Amino acid sequence: MTENKMMIDIGSDEVLSRVQSYQQGGYRLVQMCCVREPAGNVPADHLELHYTFGRDYEMVDLKFSIPPGAAIESITQIYPCAFLYENEIHDLYGVSIQGINIDFQGNFYKMAAAHPFNPDIEPGQAQKEK
């Protein structure tokens, strides 16, 4: 079997509609993660987010960038299991995510430093802090 996987660049304003369409298309949420140093013409201080979905052996990765300090909408209303990934992205990178169904308020990972994967963010810049 040949692996069928795609990476698709999207705008941050079309995330929810895209995610909704994958949910309706029978895709499961595979993973979500955050990356610094986005590719292409995106400013270096932006963060890149990857939302990955799978159906059978097909895998689709949506990636989009957000400016520093920007808040994004949770997708837990569409995929309830996304709360783990969203809390992780908040705790490690300081991304503010609004409307998470189970929000650990910055206590998902018990760490000495706030947002250790994103030293550019000032402590307290993210909306939810310990």
Partner 1 sequence: MEKAEEKRHTIVPFGPQHPVLPEPLHFDFVLEDEKVVDVIPSIGYIHRGLEILVQKREFTEYVYVAERICGICSFIHGMGYCEAIEEIMKISVPERAKYLRLIWSELSRVHSHLLWLGLAADAFGFENLFMQAWRARELVLDIIEETTGGRVIFGACKIGGVRKDITDESLKTMVTVIDGMYKDVRTICDVFLNDSSVKERLCGIGILSREDAYSLGAVGPMLRASGVSYDTRKLGYGAFGDIDFDIVTETAGDCYARCAVRVHEIFQSFHIIKQAISKIPGGPISVKVTGAPNGEAMVRYEQPRGEVIYYVKANGTKFLTRFRARTPTFANIPAMIQALKGCDFADVANIVLTIDPCISCTER
Interface residues with partner 1 (CB under 8 A) are 1-3, 5, 7, 28-31, 33, 35-37, 39, 50, 52, 56-57, 59, 61, 79-81, 83-84, 91, 102, 104, 107-111, 116-117
Residue 24 backbone phi and psi in degrees, to 5 = -70, -25
Taking the complex as a whole, how short is the minimal distance between the CB of residue 87 and partner 1, in angstroms? 9
Give the H/E segment covering residue 15: helix 15-24
CB proximity list for 31: less than 8 A, separation 6 or greater: 50, 52, 85
Comparison of 16 and 35: residue with beta carbon closer to partner 1: 35
Q: In the complex, what is the shortest distance from the CB of residue 96 to partner 1, in angstroms, rounded to a whole number? A: 19
49 burial via Cβ count (<10 Å: 0-12, 13-18, 19+): buried
Q: Which is nearer to partner 1, 52 or 72 (CB)?
A: 52
**Minimum separation from the CB atom of position 5 to partner 1 (A):** 7
